[in-house]
Amino acid sequence: MKNAQGAWTRSGIDEGELHAFVDGRLTGERRAAVLAHLLLHSGDRERVEAYRRQLAGLARIRAGLDRYGEGFAPELQRALVERIAGARRHQRWLRLCSLGLAAGLLFGIGVWTVREWAIPSSRLVANVFEPDFPAPEFPFGDAFGREERRVDGDREHSLAWFASHLRDQTLEIPDLRELGLVPVGGQVLDRARTPAVRLAWSDGQGGIIDLYVGVVASDADQAFTMVGDSRVALHWRRGRLVFALVGPAGSPHLLQAVQSVLRGIDKPAGRAVPAGEAGRAAEEPRPIRAVVEPEAGANPPALERPAPSAPAVEPATVKGAVPAKTL
């Protein structure tokens, strides 16, 4: 330890610690060490006592001059008070502004979060209907985009042709009459990547609901897409069959049709219907089962007059439209 002349004492207490002890700034272990040191070193003890007397004297002076500034330079004191008070007001104002800004931000974030969770709005619908699902995986090409309006195609021939492309697959056409939907036509989708047909129902008020059915080999999953601004398409797949139901967004008929179609699809495969009876698909639900392999390179028949945007395939070129032997 250093003594007052700067030397270190043998007990490891330095001069700084002695003064820290005098000033009451030591606690615990170090304070105890200094106390022990002072018990053994009378010279340091006397110094410490003298330093404490100095402190006591200064404390008396301080206490006696506690309000020594009273009445001193009042103008200067007043000016200083104004400066400090002004600065603190400014700081308080800034703090309030910061708090207000933070509160506003929190409120905004809260409102935004609540809206995000609460609204069953078109935005959420859009999120659902414009998913990452790969709608292009479905084989219907740009049929939806072409806004097909022709619904007077030959439904029976469409189904017959489609059935010819099925292989050990049963398709049950739903009966939507109970929903007030009347079958109004069918169409072979000649631009589809795979065999696909479109079946149309009318709700009697100008609304058309289309069921697109195709055959795929991939494992495409269910998806929704928007068709234009007002129509929605529900795609789904069962086995090698792939479907798309398209209708006015928000239409109760469409939702009911979806349920009905899904019920029909999920039912166990029913009796095979002969191809010749395929035309009655509009009247009653019945399974279609393809038992004939399609001919290689067969072109789909155009069972209706093609829409302007969908060039027709000449009936004369239609081949392979072989009716199913048993349906």
**C-alpha to C-alpha distance for 197 and 140, rounded to whole angstroms:** 8
**C-alpha to C-alpha distance for 125 and 145, rounded to whole angstroms:** 19
Q: List residues binding other proteins (CB under 8 A).
A: 4, 14-17, 19-20, 22-27, 29-30, 47, 50-51, 53-55, 57-70, 72-73, 76-77, 79-81, 83-88, 90-91
> 236: closest CA among 327, 310, 131?
131
Choice between 83 and 319, CB closer to other proteins: 83
Choice between 80 and 269, CB closer to other proteins: 80
Place of tokens 């006696």: 64
**C-alpha to C-alpha distance for 155 and 186, rounded to whole angstroms:** 4
Q: How many CB atoms lie within 10 A of CB 291?
A: 15
Minimum distance, C-beta of residue 118 to other proteins, in the bound complex (Å):
42
Choice between 20 and 307, CB closer to other proteins: 20
Choice between 77 and 113, CB closer to other proteins: 77
Three-state secondary structure call for residue 299? coil
Minimum distance, C-beta of residue 21 to other proteins, in the bound complex (Å):
9
Choice between 59 and 126, CB closer to other proteins: 59
Minimum distance, C-beta of residue 40 to other proteins, in the bound complex (Å):
18
**Would you state the structure tokens that stand for residue 80, as one six-digit string?**
């200083």
Choice between 62 and 267, CB closer to other proteins: 62
Minimum distance, C-beta of residue 3 to other proteins, in the bound complex (Å):
9
Q: Is 198 exposed, middle or buried (0-12, 13-18, 19+ CB in 10 A)?
A: buried
Minimum distance, C-beta of residue 36 to other proteins, in the bound complex (Å):
14
* Residue 279, CA distances (Å) to 5, 89, 120, 158, 293 in order: 119, 87, 41, 9, 21
Minimum distance, C-beta of residue 38 to other proteins, in the bound complex (Å):
15
**Would you state the structure tokens that stand for residue 228, as one six-digit string?**
């234009």
Minimum distance, C-beta of residue 12 to other proteins, in the bound complex (Å):
8
**Would you state the structure tokens that stand for residue 139, as one six-digit string?**
């084989």
Three-state secondary structure call for residue 236? strand
Question: What single letter denotes the amino acid at residue 224?
Answer: F
Choice between 72 and 117, CB closer to other proteins: 72
**C-alpha to C-alpha distance for 294 and 31, rounded to whole angstroms:** 101
Minimum distance, C-beta of residue 29 to other proteins, in the bound complex (Å):
7
Choice between 75 and 132, CB closer to other proteins: 75
The answer to whether 212 and 243 have CB atoms below 8 angstroms apart is yes
Question: What single letter denotes the amino acid at residue 259?
Answer: Q
